[in-house]
Amino acid sequence: MKNVFRKVAAATLAAAMMVPFAGCSNNGNSSVADNSAADNSNTSVTEGENGKLVIGGIGPITGAAAVYGNAVKNGAQLAVNEINAAGGVNGMTLELNFQDDEHDAEKSVNAYNTLKDAGMKLLVGTVTSAPCVAVSAEAAKDNMFLLTPSGSSLDAISAGDNCFRVCFTDPGQGKIAADYIVDNALATKVGIIYDSSDVYSTGILDGFKAEAEVKGLEISAEEAFTADAKTDFSVQIQKVMDSGADLLFLPIYYQEASLILQQAKSAGMNMTIFGGDGLDGLIDQLGDKVDIAQDVLVMTPFAASSPDEKSAKFTAAYEELTGGEVPIQFAADAYDAVYAIKLALEKAEISDASMSASDICDKVKVAMTEITLDGVTGSTTWTADGEPTKAPQVMKITVTDGVGSYVSAQ
């Protein structure tokens, strides 16, 4: 889900800091503003005339999935910085309090409770699906507004009408992938390798299979692995090759995908490889072996090197904030999440940071269905069930002189 890009965010990014940036419009459409004031100083947030509104964030900033959590943390922080520099929201300044959950559901609930005690009024999170399922159940009980940038399982926001998301659902992503393969005549037979122990992977698979049947796309091999056995994929790769597939679909995360690509190359596999947004991070994971990712197709809502003005300004601002890291889609989703909250607060005419979280939620969840966010991940509206409506992008990895980048596959 990206364009030309020099380096994907590392597993541990620099901590996001509170530095002013220029702001955006308040007419229902966001814009990325001047980032000339960006630095990494750790300054506190000045309270606005109508108070300081605490936005919570939860995600993995340590552990195996840290590349996602740190990207979300920094993307959200960048948006908060810009909004505060432009005068805040209805006389309120924003403060981001981001807690680490290590991609663990129990720790994520603990982080949620920590944030409540710290005065959180709205939540951007969680980052990954399984923790989001657990936290959204707690948020529904509290009537706490929750907007996950990247929790894509169906259950991630099913707990209540207080829950929304920025990203596509897993089944929705699977459907779009199947449509893209058929509409662009990429394959007639598809082999699939997926993680049967992961809700993200199985969710995409379910949507893909349902749409493949509708479109007459043959699934010639459907090979599973689990969290307990995800280093040797030789059997799955061979079965896909023996099935006569002309495309390998990988509804998985980039860590396992990097191993599959390396082992597939050793096995002599020669077919198109197509993955969902979980493959974002593959270039950095492969490092000096990135050549094997040449022409891999990845679905994403954001391209870091897109010529689009909003994307270019966001990318430059993010790089300056983080000391040179290039944003992945999770950063863009989080950035848009904070701006969506800003627009909803404005639409709901909330101007008192001392309001209870429940009272804010009652107003914001209605306002979310009445705004249009012209963000870095596209023009987005939301339905009352919390689902976004926007167009997907498919990007292709290209490698030049050992450097991987994304270009549009369209």
Residue-by-residue DSSP string for 316-383: HHHHHHHTSPBP-HHHHHHHHHHHHHHHHHHHTT---TTS-HHHHHHHHHHHGGG--EEETTEEEEE-
Question: Cα separation of 289 and 285, whole Å?
Answer: 9
Amino acid letter, residue 105: A
By three-state DSSP, how is residue 167 classified? coil
Residues of the chain with pLDDT under 50: 1-43
**pLDDT confidence of residue 307:** 67
- Per residue in 206-218, pLDDT (tens digit) is 999 999 999 999 9
Task: Note the pLDDT tens digit of each residue in 289-307.
Answer: 999 999 999 988 887 866 6
Give the total residue count for the chain: 410
Count CB neighbours of 46 within 10 A: 12
What's the rounded Cα separation, in Å, for the pair 251 and 192?
8
Instruction: Report the pLDDT value the prediction gives residue 263, as an integer from 0 to 100.
Output: 98
Domain with CATH 3.40.50.2300 in the chain: 52-167+307-389, 171-300
Domain at 52-167+307-389: CATH code: 3.40.50.2300
Assign domain 171-300 one CATH number from 3.40.50.1110, 3.40.50.2300, 3.40.50.150, 1.20.120.1750. 3.40.50.2300
Burial of 362 (0-12, 13-18, 19+ CB in 10 A): middle
Give the pLDDT score at 305. 64
Residue 170 CB partners (closer than 8 Å, separation 6+): 129, 152, 153, 154, 199, 200, 202, 203, 204, 206, 207, 251
